[in-house]
A and B are shown apart, each in its own frame.
Chain A
Amino acid sequence: AQSVTQPDIHITVSEGASLELRCNYSYGATPYLFWYVQSPGQGLQLLLKYFSGDTLVQGIKGFEAEFKRSQSSFNLRKPSVHWSDAAEYFCAVGESFQKLVFGTGTRLLVSP
């Protein structure tokens, strides 16, 4: 079965600094990969997704992610973090064409 690992439970970044959140997946075929963000008390919002093609994908709110097949990774990046980016971030992989499997999330804290 497919699985997703987000090795960092919490990350603290200074406002204005760059950010990288790690995601590793286990999947036999070409995966469908997603990053979602959950703000406190809110539902999840899709930041970006990868299906095929260019391995560097751009998303909303200035986020990007890079698919690296050799490392089974799909890390999320942002060059300059804003205080409003503080949230929980979830990586997910498509287990079938109908079902998403989520990682356990990384909580991003932004310090002034």
Chain B
Amino acid sequence: DTAVSQTPKYLVTQMGNDKSIKCEQNLGHDTMYWYKQDSKKFLKIMFSYNNKELIINETVPNRFSPKSPDKAHLNLHINSLELGDSAVYFCASSQEEDIGYEQYFGPGTRLTVT
């Protein structure tokens, strides 16, 4: 069983479109995260949710909106996509919000905006 899964794995779309990336974890964890990895492999946290409550909201354009329908899911919706949004997006989860707990990462979604 996949612990943290993301769909789709690849996403190619045009500028101005709206798209969503879905994330699900079956580990029973309370905290979920979204990270962005740019073309230089730099990995930066975007959001974290604990029990459906937003905990971390980094300086991210408000075109990005996370949605957590339940604690096993954290989806990322992106409006009006721009070329600079092209990146690999990773979802992760951990038992609790304390970084002392290991974060488990999904396989990533490669988003390409043309």
Contacts and interface: CB of A to CB of B under 8 A. Distances in A.
A27 interface: no
Contacts of B21: none
B112 interface: no
B45 A90 contact: no
Contacts of A51: 100
Nearest to A94: B99
Interface string A62-95: 0000000000000000000000000010100010
Interface of A is mostly: loop
Interface in B6-54: 40-45, 48
Nearest to A104: B42
A111 interface: no
Give the contact-size bracket for chain A: 20 to 34
> What's the interface size class on B, roughly?
20 to 34
B105 A100 contact: no
A41 B107 contact: yes
A45 B100 contact: no
Contacts of A97: 97-100
Interface in B72-114: 90, 92, 97-100, 102-103, 105-108
Given A94-B99, A99-B56, 15 more contacts: A32-B99, A42-B108, A43-B92, A43-B105, A44-B43, A44-B103, A46-B103, A51-B100, A90-B43, A98-B55, A98-B99, A99-B45, A99-B48, A105-B41, A105-B42
Interface of A: 32, 41-46, 49, 51, 88, 90, 94, 96-100, 102, 104-105
